[in-house]
């Protein structure tokens, strides 16, 4: 038996790599996530360019108190070797080395059963939205 259910909310559904939102409900864990888990090489390059030219925007997103409390930081595998243009920039903006750009936060069973869970869930998605907008802007150019 499958003891969980999941939903992906995004423009292209589950087959699309564009930024989206993810909800996982299981008997042991409840979490949400978003961003880009499997961007193509071309999309990664576009995101890196966006980070390079608009790093202040990304810094503003990830440094917000709510973002840090809910998600900590952007997660994802990183390249060990980067193109020359980006190597010097890694210290200023380490996310430029990422191959994936996603965030995840979990909720306890008590959270889910609380009267205000809908508000907590909505807030978590709203806090994630600027990151998805940044990524969408990057791959749309």
Total domain count, the chain: 1
Q: What pLDDT, on a 0 to 100 scale, did the predictor assign at position 10?
A: 78
Q: Going residue by residue through the chain (141 aa), what tens digit of pLDDT does each one get?
A: 788 898 888 776 666 778 999 999 998 889 999 999 999 999 999 999 999 999 999 999 999 999 999 999 999 999 999 988 898 899 899 999 999 999 999 999 899 899 999 999 999 999 999 999 999 999 997
Q: Please tell me the predicted confidence (pLDDT) of residue 28.
A: 82
**How many helices (H) and strands (E) are present in the chain, helices listed first?**
6, 4
The parent domain of residue 91 ranges over 4-140
Task: Please say whether the beta carbons of 54 and 129 come within 8 A.
Answer: no
Predicted TM-score (pTM) of this structure: 0.91
CATH of the domain at 53: 3.30.1460
Distance of alpha carbon 9 from alpha carbon 66, whole angstroms = 22
Q: Which residues pair with 51 in a beta bridge?
A: none
pLDDT of residue 78: 96
């Amino acid at each position: 038996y499958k003891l969980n259910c999941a939903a992906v909310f995004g423009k292209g559904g589950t087959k699309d790599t564009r930024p989206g939102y993810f909800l996982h409900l299981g008997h042991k864990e409840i979490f949400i996530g978003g961003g880009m888990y499997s961007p193509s090489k071309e999309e990664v390059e576009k995101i890196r360019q966006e980070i390079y030219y608009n790093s202040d925007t990304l810094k503003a997103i990830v440094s917000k108190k709510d973002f840090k409390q809910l998600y900590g930081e952007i997660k994802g595998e990183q390249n060990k070797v980067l193109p020359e243009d980006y190597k010097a920039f890694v210290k200023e903006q380490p996310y430029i080395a990422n191959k994936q750009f996603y965030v995840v936060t979990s909720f306890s069973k008590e959270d889910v059963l609380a009267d205000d869970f809908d508000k907590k869930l909505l807030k978590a998605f709203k806090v994630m939205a600027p990151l998805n907008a940044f990524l969408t802007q990057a791959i749309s150019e």
